[in-house]
Structure formats: structure tokens, C-alpha cells
Amino acid sequence: MGIAVAVLSAAVATQYARITIGYEFSVVHPSDGMIRFVALDNASDGSRVLRVRNNGTTATMNLSFGDIPKGMNKTYSAAFAIVNEEPFEVNITGVTVTGSESDAVRIWLHSDADTDATGDTSVMLWNGAALSGYWRLAAGNGDETDMDGAGTSTPWDTNDFIRYAAGTPTAVSGTDDFVWVQISIDTNDVAAKGDYTGTIEFQFEAQT
């Protein structure tokens, strides 16, 4: 009887199985994602500061600030809005600016699209060298055609291939599903004339 038990144990220990689990996801336009960027301000060329290039292929978002004279500080108080469509809160915890003359870039998250963020109830995330603060986006409603709950529509801009805010509601951290992003370009310390490029990366954090 002792030998029979030993053989049975060995048989159980050498069983194997395979299970296949499928997965799925969809790649969508940057204006239609669960965390999305919605344009507002226009640049000096008459197009949105935030616009999409190669809409028919890669649909790459780009910020175009235009020509800024040496010694000027050009500010867009609502370059765009960041909107949360997830069914839970999402924190914006940081931002990284890289590229040529990145120290000239200043970024604020703030409440009032029509007010300079330095006089607003703002959270500055990037001052050219250091990070500070964060912003809590309230849960969204999963509808890419609106923001601020359903209070403000975000229709499609057929020229710049991006959704834009049809109003300028006030954003409150932890209460509203969006925040305004102010961007300033200060050319006082830029060494020379020329074209400068870079990237801006926002970091998000959520607990579900």
C-alpha cells in the first residue's frame, strides 16, 4: 500500500496544462482617448496652438508657438486642456520638458482659461528646472464630445484635426474632469536666433 501511494503522488506532480487568453485594445485619435488633450488658444498663424500632424496616418500631436522675438515672454493661458474620461480619478503628478532651450518653457496647471496662471489658483508643474504640486482630475464620463461633466462641448476642428473646447469653464482640482494648461515661452535667455524643438511629457497616476 505504501508503494501505491508513492506512485500516485508522482503521477499528480507531473500533470501539465495550457490555457490561452485573448486580449484586445484599440488605437484611437489623441483627441478621443481616455486621457485626452483638447485645444483652445490660437497661435500667431491662426491655427490652434495644439494641433495634429499627419492626421490620416500617425495623428501626432504638436504644439506650435510660432515666431517669438528675442527678449519676449509669450504666454498662452489656455494652450489646451487635459481631460479625463476614465471612470475614476486621475492625478497629474509631473511633467518633463526636454529639447533645445527647454529652460525657456514654463508650464502651469490652473483653473481659469482667461487668467494668467501667476495670478490664478494654480499649480505650477515646471519652472525650467524643478517640479512642484499635482492636480487631481475627477472621474470622467467616457464621452469625447464633451468636458466639464457634460457642461462644455468639444467639437472637431476640421482644419487642425483636433477637438477643441467650445467654452472656458473653471476647473477645480478634485472636482472637475479637466484642467487648463498654461504655457509660457521666455526668450530672454535664449542664446541666438533659430528654430527650437522639444517634447513635453505629462505623468499620470491613478488608483482603481
Which pLDDT band, with edges at 50, 70 and 90, does 201 fall under? very high
Q: Is the pLDDT of residue 11 over 60?
A: no
The more confidently predicted of residues 36 and 2 is 36
Q: What is the DSSP letter of 54?
A: S
Mean pLDDT of 166-178: 96
pLDDT tens digit sequence for 29-58: 888 999 999 999 999 899 999 999 888 778
pLDDT tens digit sequence for 57-93: 788 899 999 999 999 999 999 999 999 999 999 999 9
Q: Are 169 and 176 in contact (CB under 8 A)?
A: yes
Read out DSSP for 64-97?
Answer: ------TT-EEEEEEEEEEEE-SSS-EEEEEEEE
Lookup result for grid cell 500667431: 44
Q: Cα–Cα distance between 48 and 45 in angstroms, integer? A: 8
Query: What's the confidence (pLDDT) of residue 123?
Result: 87
Query: What's the confidence (pLDDT) of residue 12?
Result: 58
Q: Cα–Cα distance between 105 and 84 in angstroms, integer? A: 24
List own/partner pairs for 157-160 with CB under 8 A and 24 or more apart.
157/39, 157/48, 159/47, 160/39, 160/47, 160/48, 160/50, 160/51, 160/52
Predicted TM-score (pTM) of this structure: 0.88
CA nearest neighbour of 101 among 68, 57, 136, 149: 68
CA nearest neighbour of 194 among 78, 8, 70: 70
Which pLDDT band, with edges at 50, 70 and 90, does 4 fall under? low
pLDDT tens digit sequence for 84-143: 999 999 999 999 899 989 989 999 999 999 999 988 888 888 877 777 888 999 999 999
Query: What's the confidence (pLDDT) of residue 134?
Result: 87
Query: What's the confidence (pLDDT) of residue 165?
Result: 98
Q: Cα–Cα distance between 86 and 38 in angstroms, integer? A: 15
Which stretches does DSSP call E strand in the chain? 35-39, 50-53, 60-63, 73-84, 90-99, 105-110, 123-126, 135-137, 146-147, 152-153, 156-157, 162-163, 178-186, 198-205
Query: What's the confidence (pLDDT) of residue 105?
Result: 93
Please count the other Cβ atoms lying within 10 Å of the Cβ belonging to residue 63: 21
Query: What's the confidence (pLDDT) of residue 133?
Result: 83
Q: Is the pLDDT of residue 2 over 80?
A: no
